[in-house]
Chains A and B, each alone.
Chain A
C-alpha cells in the first residue's frame, strides 16, 4: 500500500501541454478527466415561445400575400390584353414555369426580418441572398412585361411591380417598427383581402393559398418548437474567436 502511494507521489502529474516531449509514464494517447472539460453544450440556445414564433411568422404570411396580389394584377393584365388563343400560342408552359420559379426564388431568399432598401446611413449592407431575391423579382416582372402588347402596358406593369417589390418590404418594416399591433392588424387585413380576391379567380388556388398560410403560421411554428428539443450545440476552445468590434471594409 505504502509502495503505491510513494510511487504515485514520485510519478509526475500529467499535464495538458504540448511541449517538453513525451511525458514520462504516460503514452501520447493518454486521456484523463480533463479531456473535453472546456466543452460547452447548448450555451447560446434560445428557448423559443410558440406564441412569439407564430407572431413572427405573420411577416412571412404578409409578404406572401403581397406577392400573391402582384401576381393577381399580372394575371388580370395578361388576361385582359391577350385573348385566350395567343396565351396558349406563346409556349405558355415554359414561360409560366420560369416566372413561377423566379417568384418562388424571390420568396425563398427574401429577407423577411428587414428590408433590402434602407436609409443611406444604415450600418449593415444587405446580404447577397436578399439582393439575389430582389433581382429575381425584377426579372420576373420583365418576363411578364415582355408579353404585353403596348408600351403603356409595359411601363405601367414594370413601374407597379418595381414599386411593390422595392418599397413594400420597406413600408411593412416601418409599420412593424411603429407598432406591432398595427402590423398584425394590417397583415390580417391583407390576408383577408388576398384570400377574397383569389377566391373570385380560382377556387383551387384559394385552397392552396389558405393551406399555405395555415402551414406557415401554425404548422411551421409548432414544428420548430418540437424539433427544438433535438438542438445540440457544441462550443469549445477550438471555435474561431469572434471579434468584439465591427469590421468595416
Chain B
C-alpha cells in the first residue's frame, strides 16, 4: 500500500505569486510529493493576468481558475459556482484525492464540498488559529464544521492548532494529524563569517499590523535601546502600524539605531536575517510561525512571545520565550543578549537541518493520504446523517446545501457526460537535480 502513487489536487485561494506560510507550504509539499513519484496539480484563483494553466518548477501544474478575488485574496463565495470547473479538473487530471488548505479560503471549502459530493476522498490542512468569542470566529467555525463534517482526514501545523481545530469542528482527535511546516535550510544559510559581538543587531521581519504585535514593538524597542547602548534594530516589513513605529523612533531620537526597511521581498529575507544576531517575533497569535524557522536556520537566536503554537516550534535552547507584555519581552531580550556568546550560527543551522525538512513533511503527509484512501466509501444518506448532527438549524441547512450540490452534479453529468471530458496525456519531465527543484522557488518568483 505504501508504494501506491496518488494523484493529488491541492486547492487553496492562497498560492504563488502571493506570499506567506500557506503558499510556501503548498509549494514545497507539492514539490516533494512530485519527487516521491506522485502526481500533483494545484488549483487556485487567477492573480492579475496570471490566469489559465501554468507550469512551475518540476512540472508542477497550476490551474489559475478565472475567478477574481474580492476580499483579502478570497474568491466570492458562490457555493455552487465552482462545481463545473472543479469537476472538469478532477476528471481531466484523473485525480484520486483532493487536499484543501486554509480555513478561510472559500475556494478550498467549495472544492472540498464538490469533491465529497463526487465521492472523492479529501484531506484538509488548517494553518490558522481562531478564538471562540467574536461574531467572525463563530461564523468561520460553522463553515469549518460544515467542511470538516465529511472530510476523510485533517492535518494541522502544530499541536495547539490541532486542539483548536478539534474544538472548532468537533472532529475526533484521531482523525487530525499534526504535521508541521518546515524550512528550506538550503536557502536560509548563516552568514559565511561570524558577526562581531561588540554591536548586537536585533532583526524584526513581520507585517506591521496589530495581530503581529507591532504595538508591542513600539513599547519594547525604546526600552531595549535605553538599557543596552550597543544594540541596534533592523525592522523589515510594512503595514498600517509602520507610522506608529516611525513616531516612536522620532520621539526617542533613535533614527541612527532603528533602521526601517519597508517591505522585504521573500527572496531578500535571508540577506536581512544574516545581518543580525537576534530575531524578535512579537506576534499576538500564531499557529506555527515559519519566520522563526527561517531565522533559526540562518543561525539567529529567537526571542518570541509565548503564543499559539510558537512554544512547540523550537527546542528550548534555541528560543527565548516571553509573555506578550513589554516588560517580559525586554527581560527575554536581555537574556538572549547574555546567551549570545554561546551561540554558534553554523551549529544552529546544522541542528535545524535535522529538525525540519520538507521531504519529511511530504512523507508524513503521504501516510495521511494512504489513510484517507482507506476510509470506507459512503453513500449520500450516510453522509447526510453526519451533516444533520452539526446542529439543530445548521444541520438542516448543511443537508439542504449538500442535496442541491448532489442534484447539480447529476445534472452536470447528464449535460456533459464524464466520458466526453478529455483526459490529459501523461508525460514525465527529465529527472531534476535534487537541490535545484527546491531552490527554484525564487527563480519562479522573479519570472512571475
Contact = CB atoms under 8 A, between A and B. Distances in A.
Contacts of A238: 129-131, 160-161, 163-164, 285, 287, 308
A19 B284 contact: no
A243 B216 CA distance: 8
A39 to B, nearest CB: 7
A83 interface: no
Given A35-B163, A233-B132, A245-B219, A240 B174 contact: no
Contacts, number: 104
Interface in B283-334: 284-285, 287-288, 305, 307-309, 312-315, 324-326
A31 interface: yes
Nearest to A36: B163
B360 A237 contact: no
B405 interface: no
Contacts of B146: none
A29 B174 contact: yes
A18 B286 CA distance: 14
A23 to B, nearest CB: 10
B399 interface: no
Contacts of B313: 18-19
Given A18-B180, A20-B355, A244 B215 contact: no
A35 B167 CA distance: 11
Interface string A15-51: 0111111100001110100011011000000000000
Interface in A123-175: none
B305 A241 contact: yes
Interface in A210-249: 233-245, 247, 249
Contacts of B132: 233-235
Interface in B209-246: 210-211, 213, 215-216, 219, 244
Given A20-B355, A28-B368, A233-B133, A239 B173 contact: no
Given A20-B355, A29-B173, A29-B177, A240 B285 contact: yes
Interface of A: 16-22, 27-29, 31, 35-36, 38-39, 233-245, 247, 249
Contacts of A22: 360, 364
A249 B163 CA distance: 35
10 contacts: A19-B312, A19-B313, A19-B314, A19-B355, A233-B133, A237-B160, A238-B129, A238-B285, A241-B213, A241-B284
Nearest to B174: A29
Given A18-B158, A39-B167, A238-B163, 15 more contacts: A17-B312, A17-B315, A18-B159, A18-B313, A19-B355, A20-B354, A35-B173, A236-B163, A237-B307, A238-B131, A240-B211, A243-B215, A243-B284, A244-B325, A249-B244
Interface in B337-364: 354-357, 360, 364
Interface string B121-153: 000000001111100000000000000000000
A31, A35, A38, A240 pick with most chain B CB within 10 angstroms: A240
B285 A239 contact: yes
Contacts of A244: 325-326
Contacts of A239: 131, 133, 285
A19 B356 contact: yes
B374 interface: no
A19, A38, A245 pick with most chain B CB within 10 angstroms: A19
A244 B213 CA distance: 12
Contacts of B335: none
Contacts of B216: 243
A165 B130 CA distance: 40
B175 interface: yes
A39 B173 contact: no
B245 to A, nearest CB: 13
B242 to A, nearest CB: 12
B95 interface: no
B350 to A, nearest CB: 14
Contacts of A16: 159, 312
B272 interface: no
